[in-house]
A and B are shown apart, each in its own frame.
Chain A
Amino acid sequence: MRDFWNTALRDLGKIGIAYISVTVGVWVVFMIIIPQLIMFDYSLRPMLPLRELGGPKDVWTLKNYLVFFTNRLHMAIFFKTIWSSLIVTLVALSICYPIAFYLAKVARGAKVGLLMLGLIIPYWINELLRLFAWQIILADMGILNQLLIFLGIIADPINFRMGNGAVILGMTYAYILFMVFPIYNVMESLDKNQLDAARDLGASWPRIHYKIVMPHAKPGIAVGCTMTFMLAAGTVAAPQLLGSPSSFWFTQVINTNFECANWNLGAAYATVLMLLCVVFMFMMLKLFKVGLKELTQ
């Protein structure tokens, strides 16, 4: 601790230390701790008319959480959200792993830059607008249906937005970068000679990926999966814009609660969702045998 303090003093000076402490402190306290505590407090109180706030009925209770655990529809939506987010994560992983490998170990020079640009350009446009674009593509008389009809593959337009398909597609598209970059980053640091060595020793390509590339890329895969899962489970835009009544997302339930002025129930549901994400993160760490420290690299 003393060493840490001395090094910091030497490198940053007193003003530097004060500046960093204050900014980080403000950020942690006002952006993370206080809002979460307020939400948590809300979630533990019953919804009351204004005049009864602070009165004898305004006490901490687990009633809001009980509502969640006894409402079968909301439970079903919750588990469906987990399941669909897992699918989004898996689809994104299977698309992004080859992209990341190609970018990190196969492509050279200008090609890398071009591909990177191709990946990033869509992100210059707001997420909502991108989702609207998918709405247009997938609409009953949208581009995709018109193309398929023009090519004579189908006679009548398909309703692509039935079920979860459109939402999963839209989310996968929206979160590709969050999967590609962590994996790309770790793959970059893989020594290409190791691939050559494995090849030279007689390994096939699937084998090289399984034995050499994947173990090396594990921290990146864990980060990518965690981020994608959290984003997918926590977004409200994609299900709202691309979803159908049958693809109701848990975030939409939370949103409805807030819109119906039942902040307390909404806060309880939001806490449940946050707990889910934390649990998922630790499960990923366990699954990939990665430490919290490696995750942040």
Chain B
Amino acid sequence: MGQDVELLDVSMRFGEVYAARDINVHIQAGEFFSFLGPSGCGKTTLLRLISGFMDPSEGQIKIGGKDMRGIGSNNRPTAMIFQNLALFPLMTVEENIGFGLEVRHVSKAKRTKKVEELIELVDLYGTGGRMVSELSGGQKQRVAIARALAVNPAVLLLDEPLSALDLRLRNHMRAELRNIQRRTDVTFIYITHDQTEALTMSDRVGVMSIGKVEQVAEPDVIYNTPKTAFVASFVGETNIIQGDIIRIDGDYALLKTAWGSFFCKNPQHITKGETATIFIRPETVFLAEESTAENVLACRTKTISFEGAYAVVTLTTEQDQLFTMRLNNDGSVPKLQEGEQIKVRFSRKNAFVLKNGGTPIA
């Protein structure tokens, strides 16, 4: 059974530098939780703090309600899957999986039974006697998962374990991991810089920028209503327009930009006169009809790349700024030529304005 993990005001300092600062997250028991962020944002540090390889400089980590300070990684109810898997190369698959049980002095008979169960769970039939070096990438992955699950952890920590696999295998292992998580009911804490991975697998996602958690929410909430400019630009493709707020209209704001004036959602309730950034997802941009008056943008097509189900069109304005739209291939769209003058529109509901700052370096 999974246990919950509480991070209370957790900070980790290396010398003068904070790798993590004032982190407050409550991960529920049995949840699949992902920390998503660019490399160097401190997500691996968080994982190592939870696993007990180090203690936080400040704050508290609780697992199953119990304070973990001073408890070493060998005595925590966690198990970690390393980025490079860290399988033991001089041991067979069975010995690898049974390692955690062996060092806990579990009897040989019990150990063999548990190892067999796990080999079945992760679908590794017939490889038990082989050396790790004889396995394929996907099989190694499964050995690492089985080895970690063998010690019956309440919390499984995964440090980008899929990053070394090719795309097809990665997609397959994502589904597999999700499946194993549901079957075992263990709390999974997953670290990744790959947004698709985080969005597809997780119950909830914590988006991190440099040492800080920017937003914790369900994947669709993260994508549709990002709380900060960092989240909006890091998760998913997005168009960015800078502008000044010239009018407030309830939950909406009107911004004057170099491209024209646009209405959009104002979730942070930014006040009139401030400079801020508008975010618009490419799939919420459409070709404008004659009658459309609001949020229309005149531009020229630059490149059109047809991807089958949709086409990605890059547009440029007179100011030479880029803008992308994604047109669904549903038959309603006329064929566009490169260099064509067109007008596009977006709904004020699908665009939002957020305070400047914190955007990641693309």
Contact = CB atoms under 8 A, between A and B. Distances in A.
B74 interface: yes
A86 to B, nearest CB: 27
Interface stretch (A111-119, A145-153, A203-211): A203-211
Interface in A18-38: none
Interface stretch (B97-105, B121-129, B318-326): B97-105
Contact of B103 (A194, A201, A215, A216): A201
B259 interface: no
Give the residue among A196, A200, A211 with the most B Cβ atoms within 10 A. A200
B74 A193 contact: no
A211 B74 contact: no
B86 A199 contact: no
A207 B101 CA distance: 13
A207 B109 CA distance: 21
Contacts of A216: 90
B84 interface: yes
Nearest to B52: A200
A11 interface: no
Contacts of B86: 191, 193-194, 196-197
Contacts of B88: 194, 197-198, 211-212
Nearest to A210: B103
Contacts of B75: 202
A198 B82 CA distance: 11
Contact of B74 (A191, A199, A215): A199
A211 B100 CA distance: 12
Secondary structure dominating the interface of A:
helix
Given A191-B84, A212-B88, A199 B99 contact: no
Nearest to A208: B103
Contacts of B148: 201
A204 B90 CA distance: 19
Nearest to A190: B89
A41 B167 CA distance: 69
Interface string B232-255: 000000000000000000000000
Contacts of B180: none
Interface string A200-237: 11111001000110011000000000000000000000
A203 B74 contact: yes
Contacts of A211: 88, 99, 103
B173 interface: no
Contacts of B52: 200
Given A201-B147, A202-B104, A196 B99 contact: no
B54 to A, nearest CB: 11
B53, B99, B147: most-surrounded residue (chain A CB, <10 A) = B99
Looking at A193, A194, A199, A202, the one whose CB has the most chain B CB atoms below 10 A away is A202
Given A196-B86, A197-B86, A203 B79 contact: no
Contacts of B78: 200
Contact of B100 (A193, A196, A201): A201
Nearest to A194: B86
B53 A203 contact: no
Given A194-B88, A196-B86, A211-B99, A201 B53 contact: no
B341 to A, nearest CB: 57
A115 B119 CA distance: 45
A53 B204 CA distance: 95
Contact of A193 (B72, B79, B84, B104): B84
A204 B73 contact: no
A199 B151 CA distance: 12
Contacts of A207: 103
Interface of A: 191, 193-194, 196-204, 207, 211-212, 215-216
Interface of B: 51-53, 72-75, 78-80, 82-84, 86-88, 90, 99-100, 103-104, 147-148, 150-151
Closest 5 CB pairs of A and B: A201-B100, A193-B86, A203-B103, A197-B86, A202-B74
Given A201-B148, A202-B74, A215-B90, 9 more contacts: A191-B86, A196-B80, A197-B88, A201-B99, A201-B150, A202-B75, A202-B103, A202-B151, A204-B103
